[in-house]
Amino acid sequence: MKKIHGFAINQIYAVIPIIFVLICFQLPCTAASLPDIGMITMVKGEIIYWNNNVNEKKQAAQGFMKVRPDDEFRLAADSELQLIFFANGRKEIWKGPAELKLSEAMGQLADKNEKNDKLTVVQIPTKVVNEVRRISPLIDPAKLHRSGSYAIRGYQVEKLPVEKLSLKSASLDIEEREELDSVKQTYDALSLSSASNDITPELYLFSILADYEQFEDIKQILVKMKKKQPGNPGIEQLEDWLRNQALKQKG
């Protein structure tokens, strides 16, 4: 794979200072800070979280947010939480009302005597988990609630719909086309086994399409994601990433 991880490395280097500031803002910046063990892929309804190990105040959970050991969640009635654990590829879908606490590899009801009929578990292949994990550095939580325009190098850029962006995709050789065909087969299989509002298949495909700079295909993936989860602010951040690629091509 000629372009593998090219976009991820560049993006991670670019956002390391931002991530550091965000972590310091939200958590006590000490050696005892907890590791990321997974990521939320969907929040529906009213869901709050907190972590007593870092004296964290209760606040609203957000899509694409990283989770840590001993994070606790309270789900209101009719709410839904989807998250993926990095270590074992375990995807959990929780229905409210419920209160749960995370270990390093799974979530459990806070009241262990309560009947656990609120959880659905799906096993995700390791290669899919790895690609989904790479998406998170592209999401800047500080910008999740901004709309209308966004800042690049100190000036504001109008947010054109991604369908109207002018982007040129990279040319692929035979080997690369075959690799992408295999990836799309995995995507199709994931889509068949996923819920209608689950964007895990699209996150997987987005990550690899970005490696290959297949921006036209990414447009279509983002449209599918917004149909599955309208109003998800994390998807808007992925759209901003694509807008940034369009600006780079313009020079």
Gyration radius of the chain over CA positions: 18
Give the containing element (helix H, strand E) for 72: strand 72-75
Reported as half-sphere exposure (CB side, CA atoms, 13 A), residue 216 has a value of 5
Residue pLDDT, tens place only, 111-137:
887 777 889 999 999 999 999 988 877
Residue pLDDT, tens place only, 16-39:
444 444 444 444 444 247 789 999
| CA geometry: angle 115, 88, 103, nearest 5 deg | 50
Q: Is 101 helix (H, G, I), strand (E, B) or coil?
A: strand
pLDDT for the residue 237: 86
14 has a pLDDT exceeding 80: no
pLDDT for the residue 126: 93
Provide the pLDDT confidence category of residue 10 given band limits of 50, 70 and 90.
low
pLDDT for the residue 140: 54
Domain boundaries, the chain: 34-123, 127-250
183 has a pLDDT exceeding 80: yes
Residues whose CB falls within 8 Å of the CB of residue 68, separated by 6 or more in sequence, listed in order: 34, 35, 36, 37, 51, 102
Residues whose CB falls within 8 Å of the CB of residue 117, separated by 6 or more in sequence, listed in order: none
Give the rounded percent of residues in the chain with a pLDDT score beyond 70.
79
pLDDT for the residue 11: 53
- The single-letter code of the amino acid at 93 is I
119 token code pair: 């959880």
Give, as one character, the DSSP assignment of residue 136: G
57 token code pair: 């105040």
